[in-house]
Amino acid sequence: MPQIVRKFSVQDQSAFDYSINLDEDTYSSLDKERFSSWVSLLPTWSFRGVIMRRALAKLITSIVICAVVACGLPCHADDVSDHSDARLDHLHGFVFFIDADTPKDHFKYHGSKVFPIVRLKVFQRAIAWSKKRDEDVKTEKYEELWYYDGKPIGSRQYSQFKIEPKSIGTIIVRTMDGDPRQSQAMASAIVKLSVDLRLRDTMLSSIVLPRDKYKETVEYLGNYGFYGNFVPTSGIQMSLHMRSNPPGLDEYLYYRKRLDN
């Protein structure tokens, strides 16, 4: 395994530091300007990643999610609503589930400036990772993300990230209630997790949302530069394949860098 000898770091507008540790060869080939641009996609989260034996520059410049469609993945409407373990394990290399709620008592005290919060529980099903190690495939809690007014205020990680590099998978949002703040938080979490998966050399085939929260959440994704009816021809190319459950809504959102006024 190559020795880690270089660190490349960049700060976003909120002074959060994003860094990756690289071996000498990968550091030399890294498109540092392109990596810096990716920081603008991350919704104010401190990102730490160790990337050892893969060419990050090639990963970043070649990500066009349309290639996922060309891979021949099944894209039938019934795939969206069937969340049985057997079905998911057959179709995907990994699955992330997200459940949202708004706790009634968290941070509820006189003078609290972060009440109410939205809590997102993230679970991972590391299908390819487990099969490679001849282990039983299990769904386990990965992390919790906490938001106030659409902004991340904290997180807690419960288990190791176990997604196999090069694997292809999906994000399924299982539960959201009538609180509109949950859609805002969910959009932020989707961008965070999507970018994190890209940088870890995996591919995300789709993101499934409850149909009654679909349009609202997609609108909030526009806050991070993702829009429908737009296909980029230059610059960073990244898209999110959004689908509803029950089926009926299906579209690609493309990242468009916002220009400063």
Q: How far apart are CA 16 and CA 39, in angstroms?
A: 10
- Nearest CA to 95 out of 131, 134, 136, 140 is that of 140
Q: Are residues 103 and 228 in the same domain?
A: yes
Q: Are residues 74 and 126 in the same domain?
A: yes
Task: State the Cα angle at 151 between 234 and 49, rounded to 5°.
Answer: 60
Cis peptide bond prior to 116, omega within 30° of 0: yes
260 inside domain = no
> Last residue of a domain, which of 39, 62, 85?
62
- pLDDT at residue 207, as a whole number: 96
- pLDDT at residue 17, as a whole number: 42
Q: Are residues 22 and 132 in the same domain?
A: no
- pLDDT at residue 95, as a whole number: 94
Q: Are residues 68 and 180 in the same domain?
A: yes
Q: Are residues 136 and 208 in the same domain?
A: yes
pTM score, two decimals?
0.69
Count the domains in the chain. Answer: 2
- pLDDT at residue 97, as a whole number: 96
Q: How far apart are CA 152 and CA 95, in angstroms?
A: 23
Q: Are residues 113 and 242 in the same domain?
A: yes
Q: Are residues 1 and 80 in the same domain?
A: no
Q: How far apart are CA 13 and CA 23, in angstroms?
A: 27
- pLDDT at residue 114, as a whole number: 77
76 inside domain = yes
Q: Are residues 83 and 40 in the same domain?
A: no
- The conformation of residue 105, written as its DSSP 8-state character, comes to S
230 inside domain = yes
- pLDDT at residue 194, as a whole number: 93
- Nearest CA to 209 out of 121, 97, 127, 101 is that of 97
- pLDDT at residue 116, as a whole number: 85
Q: Are residues 2 and 74 in the same domain?
A: no
Q: Are residues 176 and 135 in the same domain?
A: yes
Contact 47, 196 (CB under 8 A): yes
47 inside domain = yes
Phi/psi for 106 (5° steps) reads -65, 125
- pLDDT at residue 91, as a whole number: 84
29: domain range?
1-62
Q: Are residues 125 and 237 in the same domain?
A: yes
> Last residue of a domain, which of 31, 62, 93?
62
Q: Are residues 21 and 97 in the same domain?
A: no
261 inside domain = no
> Last residue of a domain, which of 12, 33, 62?
62
pLDDT means per 10 residues, the chain with 261 residues, are: 42 41 53 52 39 33 34 43 75 93 80 85 92 89 93 92 91 90 95 90 93 95 88 71 94 77 43
